[in-house]
Amino acid sequence: MSDMQQFSIHFDPQHVDDLHDRLRRTRWPEAATVDDWSQGVPLTYLRELCDYWANDYDVDAAEDRLNAVPHFLHSIDGLDVHFVHVRSEHPDAMPVVLTHGWPGSFVEFLGVVEALVNPSDPADAFHVVIPSLPGYGFSAKPTKPGWGIERIAHAWDTLMTELGYRRYAVQGGDWGAMVSTRIAQLHPDHVVGAHLNMPVVAIDPATLTDLTADEQAWLARMADHRRWGRGYSEEQSTRPQTIGYGLIDSPVAQCAWIVEKFWAWTDNRGHPEDALSKQQMLDNISVYWFTASAASSARLYWESLNSVNLDPVEVPTGVSVFPKEIFPLSRRWCEQRFTDLRYYNVVARGGHFAAFEQPALFVDELRACFRGLR
């Protein structure tokens, strides 16, 4: 652990001034020809959000929020990996590594750290580790191909081992679910169990019979996503460099690219701020902007989207289905891949960004999943 470098997040004032200048000089397009989100983020709302970013978003206060937890850098397999590490005062706490996806970041989990580390019942305590994926946020940007899901899984196991955690739990959604699943496959002797809020299972709708009402609704949602929601992944998995030029140069483009997903993937009533505040969304977007990580984060799609491992997972696993998830799965669908499914629950509220949207419910799900595995 001696080469793990602790640091505090600080956004350069010159970069903050540059952000404000770029926001003021934005060349805006005309409004969409519809009055909803079906063509993308509405002009009126994006101008409102970016005006808030330029004039009302307090960068110093954002730094304080991000620095409420300790941050570290550690070189793993030739790459500097950023991670948050908070140890519980309870010696029997379970180590857990929480992994985000795109367009998320470690910011998603900041609202659950305290409850996980210092619960009212010591039997529910966790030591919490939150790494940033390679090319995301404050982790270094890979300079050569090869940093896909499998290599990340090995890196996370190395990180947990070098932190002194020989046995630990894994948790994640989106890319984080794929990383967590792969760790469980590659290092089952180290993984106590896995908790996933967007597991990946190969499902052929043509072979499904006797569908429940929930399963029918979830298949319809998947079909809608395939038709209307995959533009970002097609671009990022084929030409991440090309889209990166625009997103890294224009804060408005970066903001729109992410906030569209906060609208589409959260449990809201038609507006993203039903689920997340402007401040929450901009804390996450600002990490992408100030680290210029649009292209480097998109490359994970180029590396891994078309080569996701779908082999069985044998470690004890729990699945929490938040109702507005992109790909909700029924228990029997999950059991096709996760052969030791110990926990399954459909949660009352929440969407793709579970810990961000519903921190208390997320914490309850983690506790319930791992309570029998300690």
**Pairing state between β 94-99 and 79-86:** unpaired
What does pTM read for this prediction? Answer: 0.96
Q: What pLDDT does residue 207 have?
A: 76
- Residues near 281 by beta carbon (within 8 Å), at least 6 away in sequence: 49, 258, 259, 262, 272
Query: Kindly report the CA angle at 178 between 172 and 184, in degrees rounded to 5?
Result: 85
Q: What pLDDT does residue 2 have?
A: 53
pLDDT in tens, 338-373: 999 999 999 999 999 999 999 999 999 999 999 989
If we measure between CA atoms, which residue out of 67, 120, 113, 121 comes closest to residue 87? 113
Pull the structure tokens for residue 3: 């080469």
CATH of 5-373, one of 3.40.250.10, 3.40.50.1820, 3.30.360.10, 2.30.30.100: 3.40.50.1820
Peptide bond just before 312 cis, omega within 30 deg: no
Query: E strands within 61-190?
Result: 71-76, 79-86, 94-99, 126-131, 168-172
pLDDT greater than 60 at residue 1: no
If we measure between CA atoms, which residue out of 49, 41, 37 comes closest to residue 276? 49
Pull the structure tokens for residue 11: 């956004």
**Measured between alpha carbons, how far is residue 225 from residues 19, 196, 220, 222, 261 in Å?**
33, 20, 9, 5, 12
Pull the structure tokens for residue 252: 């408005």
pLDDT in tens, 264-278: 999 999 999 999 999
Query: E strands within 17-155?
Result: 71-76, 79-86, 94-99, 126-131
Average pLDDT, the chain: 96
Q: Where are the domains of the chain?
A: 5-373
pLDDT in tens, 164-220: 999 999 999 999 999 999 999 999 999 999 999 999 999 876 778 899 999 999 999
